[in-house]
Structure 1
Amino acid sequence: MMPFTYGFVGWFTNVVALKMTFYPLEFVGIPPYLGWQGIVPKKAQKLALKSVNIMTERLIKVEDFFSKVDPDQLETEFQPILNDLIPSATHEIVHHINPILRKHLENGHGEEIVRAVQEKCAHTVKNIMVQVKENVSSVFNFRSLVLRKLTGPNVERIVNIFEEVGSKEFKFIEHCGWALGGALGIAQAVLWNYLPIWWTLPIQGVIVGYITNWVALTMIFRPLYEKRVGPIKYRGLFIARQEEVSKKYSNVFATQVLTARNVLEEILYKRAARTLVETIQAETESAATRLNLAGQLDAENNGEDSDFENTKKEVIRKVSDSLAGSSTKLETYMGRAMSIENNMFKRMKDLPPEEFEPILRSAFQEDEYVLILIGSVLGAIVGLVQGIYMIAV
């Protein structure tokens, strides 16, 4: 039974180690130390930053995102949608200004404000994209976008990325546990014939749990370069799959993080909505000045918590959501123009092994020793149960 028992131990300790790498997403237990949170969700901020650094240094030139995007094409597709939103957005904001001013401005002057806003915002979309192409870093915060999409309430996304990219390696870890644990179990059975002392079994359990976890993790990433022993050639499993992993990693990032919608939300939807609201406010103030009306638009003077400010925020949200909901065709165009997946894949598959390895290993590296120790502890527990059983029989 020893080979079967330790085959199970090797498999079980490796499975537990993997699960504890990714789950639970939130800390379970009594904080700060009595409990557990998956290594990846716990280190999500740091891992996301590593992903950003790898991408910006080796895989992506942010300027390439927009080099093929035509501002005139965007204006043709998008500006009519924005124009249709101007009347309702203007009336919404004017309706929530100082009641004394509102009474005069709504009495025949509301349409003047709408026309002025439409004139001033006639090329908002084109102007924003021209600014983006001229100076990407001042408009598009790539780092901030990736961090928001992979951390906080979106932490499950970074877990999914690592699980998808390393799915074959994780299966190997499980199978390696069975095979190596079984082989060590045979050695244990032989040793038991010569040294049938029950307390040696927990010690052997520690060794088996440690070795199976350590060997499995090592074989995934080492050696970086192909080695040969006689006719046998071998290399780290993850490194050997570089092209396949690159394709999957690029696809996951392009479809879950750096989507055309996410990029447009960052550079266009909210920016266009804010520009619109700021223009409405400016034109409303200009109309009040022309009519010699005294007083501020915001009657409450409560800063960020006033009804007027809350209305502006709500209008920005509505306009942004309306733009996002009406731009499927535009997002398809942007996705093709940016070619994120294709560009990432081409560069990633050609990375040297030293730079490719951290893409998956960063999920384990800082706490690798914890995963190996978990295997040792679980192996010791099983060995102790074995020892008790041997005494009983």
Structure 2
Amino acid sequence: MLSWAEVVADVQANWFLYASMPIVAAAIGYVTKIVAIRMMFQPIKFLGVPPYLGWQGIVPRKAAIMASIACDTMTEHLIKPRDIFMKLDPKRIAREIEAPLLAAIEDITRDVAAHYQPGLWEMAPESVKQLIISRIKAEAPRLVEQIMLDIQNNIDSVFDLKDMVVTNLMRDVELLNRIFLEAGEGEFRFIRNSGIYFGFVIGCVQAVTWAFTQNPWVMPLFGGFTGWFTDWLALKMIFNPKRPTRYLGLFEWQGLFLKRRQVVAAEYGRLIAKEIITPNRIIDAVLRGPLSDRIFGMVQKQVQKLVDEQAGLARPIVVFAVGSRQYQEMKQVIAQKVMARLPEALKSMETYAADAMDIENTLVARMQQLTPEQFEGLLRPAFEQDEWILITVGAALGFLVGEMQVQVMLNFAGVGG
């Protein structure tokens, strides 16, 4: 321990190095935060020699877990499949897809008729063909209405919202990254900048400690402490306390993420509505998802009903002409063709569906009603997964910078010499 006079003399002789200590500490705090944030999201794919020699961003590496947690919060507290589909009017949908559907019906009718009764269909007058097609077209809107009603009444058995969300996030990890980064933009900015302020304060303490001890361990230990403590404290200040709390009677603080819930809710709702729970993705999930066979069953039931109704009194003659087995097969083929043409036909209703579902405003309104604990779950998973690694890396980087700093001071500047 140096005397006060020795300390004063050393500081006067090397004042610029002492002045640099808080600045270097602030830089350590800032750089380690940037590194920590980058390590959360980059690289998308493992870089190095798998499985241990290298790195992959925590969010991409834990994409399945992240997507599942985000989806659980979304489906449990924010939106349900029934909320989405009950806002759709089956009659309006029938009108929206009328043009492409009628074109598809005409093509399907001609193809099926020509396949099962090629001679009879080719010999029939065009007026007869048009009469048959017109009758089926006239009933097509009712077919769509009935299918939509079946979907609405059995929504949980034909649409898996969680599977749709998780599948799309797993398929597009960059989108998963972007959801966390954009929803938590303010929090990540705070983390970066807090390293400067916290690091500067610690650097001041470091300078005083070095002045009195001249111990070469001071720099690396303070550097490591700066990297560790600033990471740890920044993460704590983002999510805690959950409600406004006054400290020392001087200032009030609330976890930044919770304090910004109005802004976060708006951004999160916009991202989810524009990127994940979109009409296009919903239609695709219903028609091609893991429960699509049930949708086909509904379409087949309605198509068979329509074909039987249109056959009417002539049904025995039709059955006799094509055969009972082929008649049933024909109805199934029609259902398959209708199912194949539905995705294209339903594209014309996406604008109406987006307005009717109003997913963005629904999400934002529901988010405002979440408890602080539930709201925290929107972003917290990105930090909870292996956050100890980020803090450890911050400490290690700080330690190394501190060691370089002390070597400069001892070997080049002669501090304490």
TM-score, L = length of structure 1: 0.81
Within 5 Å, give how 1:245-256 maps onto structure 2: 245-256=264-275
Q: Over residues 308-334 of structure 1, what are the superposed CA-to-partner deviations in whole Å (9 max), with x where a residue is unaligned?
A: x9xx9999667624542xx1xx22222
Query: What residue is the counterpart of 1:206 in the other structure?
Result: 224
Query: Which region of structure 1 is more displaced relative to structure 2, 57-66 or 131-140?
Result: 57-66
Query: What residue is the counterpart of 2:3 in the other structure?
Result: none
CA distance in structure 1 between the partners assigned to 2:192 and 2:392 by the alignment:
17
User: What is the deviation of 1:40?
Assistant: 1.2
| Distance change >3 Å, CA 57–CA 291, structure 1 → 2 | closer
Is the Cα–Cα contact under 8 Å of residues 97 and 345 in structure 2 kept in the other structure?
no
User: What is the deviation of 1:128?
Assistant: 2.2
Give the aligned residue type for 1:143: K
User: What is the deviation of 1:232?
Assistant: 1.5
Q: Over residues 64-105 of structure 1, what are the superposed CA-to-partner deviations in whole Å (9 max), with x where a residue is unaligned?
A: 21223211111111133122124445777899x9xxx89869
| Distance change >3 Å, CA 53–CA 105, structure 1 → 2 | farther
Query: What residue is the counterpart of 1:236 in the other structure?
Result: 255
Within 5 Å, give how 1:370-389 maps onto structure 2: 370-389=389-408
Secondary structure (helix, strand or coil) at the match of 2:385 reads helix
Of residues 163, 170, 173, the one that matches 2:191 is 173
Q: Over residues 174-197 of structure 1, what are the superposed CA-to-partner deviations in whole Å (9 max), with x where a residue is unaligned?
A: 110011111111111111112223
CA distance in structure 1 between the partners assigned to 2:49 and 2:113 by the alignment:
51
Of residues 127, 143, 159, the one that matches 2:162 is 143
Query: What residue is the counterpart of 1:188 in the other structure?
Result: 206
CA distance in structure 2 between the partners assigned to 1:114 and 1:273 by the alignment:
24
User: What is the deviation of 1:44?
Assistant: 1.7
Secondary structure (helix, strand or coil) at the match of 2:242 reads coil
| Distance change >3 Å, CA 140–CA 289, structure 1 → 2 | farther
1:33 matched to 2:70? The reply is no
Within 5 Å, give how 1:2-41 maps onto structure 2: 2-41=21-60
Of residues 121, 132, 139, the one that matches 2:151 is 132
| Distance change >3 Å, CA 314–CA 125, structure 1 → 2 | closer
Secondary structure (helix, strand or coil) at the match of 1:362 reads helix
1:223 matched to 2:246? The reply is no
User: What is the deviation of 1:250?
Assistant: 1.2
Query: What residue is the counterpart of 2:343 in the other structure?
Result: 320
Q: Over residues 250-283 of structure 1, what are the superposed CA-to-partner deviations in whole Å (9 max), with x where a residue is unaligned?
A: 121111111222223333698689958x969xx9
Secondary structure (helix, strand or coil) at the match of 1:351 reads coil
Query: What residue is the counterpart of 1:305 in the other structure?
Result: none
Root-mean-square deviation over aligned CA pairs: 3.7
1:353 matched to 2:372? The reply is yes
| Distance change >3 Å, CA 315–CA 335, structure 1 → 2 | closer
Q: Percent identity?
A: 34
Query: What residue is the counterpart of 1:301 in the other structure?
Result: none
Give the aligned residue type for 1:172: F
User: What is the deviation of 1:149?
Assistant: 2.0
CA distance in structure 1 between the partners assigned to 2:298 and 2:150 by the alignment:
15
| Distance change >3 Å, CA 104–CA 349, structure 1 → 2 | same
1:63 matched to 2:82? The reply is yes
CA distance in structure 1 between the partners assigned to 2:338 and 2:325 by the alignment:
25
| Distance change >3 Å, CA 64–CA 316, structure 1 → 2 | closer
User: What is the deviation of 1:367?
Assistant: 1.1
CA distance in structure 1 between the partners assigned to 2:56 and 2:120 by the alignment:
57
Query: What residue is the counterpart of 1:338 in the other structure?
Result: 357
TM-score, L = length of structure 2: 0.77
User: What is the deviation of 1:231?
Assistant: 3.7
CA distance in structure 2 between the partners assigned to 1:198 and 1:26 by the alignment:
40
| Distance change >3 Å, CA 134–CA 172, structure 1 → 2 | same
Is the Cα–Cα contact under 8 Å of residues 41 and 58 in structure 2 kept in the other structure?
yes
CA distance in structure 1 between the partners assigned to 2:223 and 2:113 by the alignment:
74
Is the Cα–Cα contact under 8 Å of residues 273 and 319 in structure 1 kept in the other structure?
no
CA distance in structure 2 between the partners assigned to 1:104 and 1:32 by the alignment:
66
CA distance in structure 2 between the partners assigned to 1:121 and 1:65 by the alignment:
24
CA distance in structure 1 between the partners assigned to 2:170 and 2:177 by the alignment:
10
Q: Over residues 86-132 of structure 1, what are the superposed CA-to-partner deviations in whole Å (9 max), with x where a residue is unaligned?
A: 4445777899x9xxx898698659x7997897688554421221012
| Distance change >3 Å, CA 197–CA 143, structure 1 → 2 | same
| Distance change >3 Å, CA 63–CA 275, structure 1 → 2 | closer
1:364 matched to 2:383? The reply is yes
Is the Cα–Cα contact under 8 Å of residues 226 and 234 in structure 1 kept in the other structure?
yes
CA distance in structure 1 between the partners assigned to 2:77 and 2:261 by the alignment:
15
Give the paired residue count.
Answer: 369
CA distance in structure 2 between the partners assigned to 1:273 and 1:80 by the alignment:
24
User: What is the deviation of 1:288?
Assistant: 10
